[in-house]
Every structure is written in C-alpha cells, then in structure tokens.
Chains A and B, each alone.
Chain A
Amino acid sequence: MPIKRGVSLYSFQNETFQGRMTLEDCIRTCAEMGANGIEIIGEQTFWGWPEVGVDQAEIDTWHRLIAKYDCVAVSHDFMLDYKRYKGREMPFEEQVASVKKDIDFGARLGMKYIRALVSIAPEVLVAAAPHAEEKGIKILIEVHAPLHFDHPWIIRHAEAFEKSGSDALGFLPDMGMFLHAFPPVWKEKFMRVGVPKHIADYIEKAYADRVLSEYVILNVQQMGGVGPAIAMAETLRHNAAFEPRRMLDYMPRIHNIHGKFYEMTADYIEPSIPYDEIVKVLQQGGYQGYICSEYEGNRWIEDVMEPDSVEQVRRQQVMLATLLGEPTPQLRAAA
C-alpha cells in the first residue's frame, strides 16, 4: 500500500482562529487537494473539549463532513494538561483517566490514532494502553524537536512500549526534527526584530556547517550579539539536524507522520526540511500510513503579512504527490 496524504487542520489555524474558515471549509479544502486524511487537535476543532465536553450533534456533523468529502479521520491530537492545578502536578491515576477520556473521544470521532505530547511519561501511556486496545485506537507519542529517536527520553518510551507488549502504543514523528537548513522565514523574522544581518548570516552558515550550538552561541556573544541574536543562536540548541534514517529502527511502531513545514516556495520546495530524503526513508521502511501536512510558518510571518495557509498546504501537497509518484495536474491547477 502506498504512503497516503493528509492534513492536520492545525495548518489552517490562522484562518480558523479568525473564523475565516469553517470545519467544512477545512475538510473540503483537503479533499480538493487529494489529501483525504484528516488530523485535528481535538480542543482546537471542538470548543469545550476536554473540560466542558462536546455535544453529540457536533460529533454527528464531523462524521457527516468526513463522509461528504470522502475523507478519513486519522488522528485526534490530545494535550493532557498535567499542570491543570497551580503548584502541583496532576496525580498519576488522574492522568491515566484523562488519557482514557481522550481515547474515548478519538473513538467517537472515528479516529485510528490519538497523538500524545512528548512530555507525557511512558508509564501513563502504558497504563492507558489496554483501554486503547479495547477501543481500537493506538496512542502515538509525538517525537518532536528538540527530542529525537536517539534521545534517552524517547528510548525510555520505546523500552516501556516493548515491555508492555501492547501494539496500541507507538510513535508519530514530526519531520521538523530533520531540519537540515536554517529556515529562511526564521532568519527574516529574527532580522525584523533586530538581529544584525552579519550575525544572522553567520548563524545560518554555522547551522549549514553543523557547528555545535554552544560554540555558535558563544561566537554570537563575541560578535556583540544580544537579545534576539542570542535567541536566534539558541534555536540551534533545539533544532539539530538529525538523520531521517533514524526512523528505520522504529518503523513497526510509526503509524502517522507530521509533515511539518515552515515555508513552501512557489516552485514547491521546503528550503529547510529534506522531504525527498524523508520520503525515500519512509518508503524503504515500508511505511503505509499518512503524511499529514503541518504548516507552522504562520507564526514566523504573521507580524508582516497575513499567512495564506491554504496555498502553503497546497504547495506542500504538490511536493508530496510528486515525491510519491502521484499525478498532480489537478493540484497544480488549484489555487
């Protein structure tokens, strides 16, 4: 089975926040791009979730829209606010109960997966796994920069998953961890908030040369960099250029992919994330799930322009369709 294309509605946050796109607009837009896998952040798409709850009428509307546009419900991304109580962490049993509630919500929405944030402890997910199995849901921890597949925290998760013996536990890698060039939209934003051009150029070059982030930070200090210049250098700490092939050891537990991107150029290139290599690795590993677009350039440009999230996602879908060997004429004609 080939790799499938989808979209996380997170991508359209700038439009949905302002009420400029409805849920139906989002789903129709994805369907028109041939990206029929739909991922949501439950509490972004459904007001009230989780503290207040969601009426059945809204769930019915969701199912009606998914059917109307011939889409597939892929993942409900949940948050688990273990800092809900000021000054004390949510107790373990309550965290497990909260995850079970999100499993139930995912099942109501017809999802295959629910996404767990990377900061959640493996013991919590292991304790919730039997409930997930009963509901036919897999819980996927999102492996997201600055974490990566060789980080001890992720290895702890992997070991706990194996020990549990449950196949309801897995991974959802975010492709941002494979950043291989300093994103132009980041550099431009840092320059707008005061980073001198020669320092911004140096940081971009140092990233390309894979210089250790701590050396870059010191050098920027010695170049006279302050405030935003240090902040720009510090992004290197959290965005090392990891190798896509590190996913190969974990393929049996990788069930969904966040197609993170910061910018798609008019000629269908993401300048900072190596999607050609990523797709090759996923194909080599026999991946058969979705790659869901996750546009995150919005926050880097919104101070100077209104993001055009739909056009950005369309361009990424053209790129993905091309890399996957699909025909793209309809996608190219759209706009």
Chain B
Amino acid sequence: MMDNKMIVEGSLETSDLGFAFYGRLPYYRGLGLSMIEDIQITVDGDLIPRADVRFHVRGKTYTLDQMETIYDDRWNFGEKAKIIAMKPGGLPPGDHKIEFAVRMRVSYLPFVPTTKDTKVLALAA
C-alpha cells in the first residue's frame, strides 16, 4: 500500500558528498526504527551499498545498522524522512531514475514485506 507515494516528487538534491530525496514508509501506520530491516536505493540502475545509506528524520541521522537498535525513535505515518546516499561527487544535473525499497519487520505478518517505488526525478543544473 502507498507504494507509489514512497518517493516524494521533486525532492531530489545533490552535494559533493552524495544525493538525497524524501521518502515515506509504505504502511498505514508508522514503525519504530528497529523494525526497519533494510532500505535499498538504486540510482540509474546502480545499487548504493547498505553501509552508504543514511536515514535522517527530525534532526537525527542514522546508518541502517544503527537503526536496528533504535527503540526510542520512529518513522511516523506519512512522515517524509530524508533518505541519503553517500556517493562522492553526487549526481550530475538532469533526470535520474531512483528506486527505493523498504523491508520492514511487522509483528503480526507471517512474512517480511518489501515494498518498492521507482520514479524519475529531475535535478536542476
């Protein structure tokens, strides 16, 4: 659910350190960060290594490994988190195809869902 609303339109930005966009949790509620098992980003077909992904929300930045033991912070329902890919040099201006997948551990489900969105986002020169 909410698959096609995960990547926030028009939110792509870049710097010398990498690029970032706003992402939303594809779920009808929020989740404590320890239950976000994985976030995968690809840009123009290239997968960003897990260690190079950062999650930023309300002034705090986490690696995916750190998030696994964060029990006092959440990704709230509909909340736009900044999803950061550390990639020296960032991205050149123009259109970029972004894939964004979230795997979450949901207590009541007998499986571990992964939900994905793909959008082409423009980066101004």
Contact = CB atoms under 8 A, between A and B. Distances in A.
Given A83-B106, A84-B35, A86-B68, A48 B2 contact: no
Contacts, number: 79
Contact of A84 (B5, B34, B37, B79): B34
Tell me whether chain A's interface is mostly helix, strand or loop, or mixed: loop
Given A10-B28, A82-B107, 18 more contacts: A16-B77, A18-B5, A43-B74, A44-B29, A44-B30, A47-B74, A47-B77, A47-B79, A52-B73, A81-B31, A81-B32, A81-B35, A83-B105, A84-B34, A85-B34, A86-B34, A86-B105, A302-B3
Tell me whether chain B's interface is mostly helix, strand or loop, or mixed: loop
Interface of A: 10, 13-14, 16-19, 41, 43-44, 47-48, 51-52, 79-86, 117-119, 298-299, 302-303
Nearest to B30: A43
B72 A52 contact: yes
A15 to B, nearest CB: 10
Nearest to B78: A17
Contact of B28 (A13, A85, A86): A13
Contacts of B71: 51, 84
B124 interface: no
Interface of B: 1-5, 24, 28-32, 34-35, 37, 68, 71-74, 76-79, 105-108
A19 B17 CA distance: 31
Nearest to A90: B107
A14 B26 CA distance: 11
Contacts of B76: 43, 47-48
Contacts of A302: 1-4
7 contacts: A17-B77, A43-B76, A44-B29, A52-B74, A81-B31, A83-B35, A86-B37
B80 to A, nearest CB: 9
Contacts of B24: 17
Contacts of A41: 28-29
A299 B29 contact: no
Contacts of B31: 81
Contact of A17 (B5, B72, B106): B5
A118 B30 CA distance: 19
A14 to B, nearest CB: 8
Contact of A81 (B73, B77, B107): B107
Nearest to B31: A81
A52 B60 CA distance: 14
Contacts of B28: 10, 13, 17, 41, 44
Contacts of A51: 32, 71-74
A80 B77 contact: no
Contacts of B78: 16-19
A134 B66 CA distance: 39
B5 A47 contact: no
Contacts of B2: 14, 17, 299, 302
B57 to A, nearest CB: 11
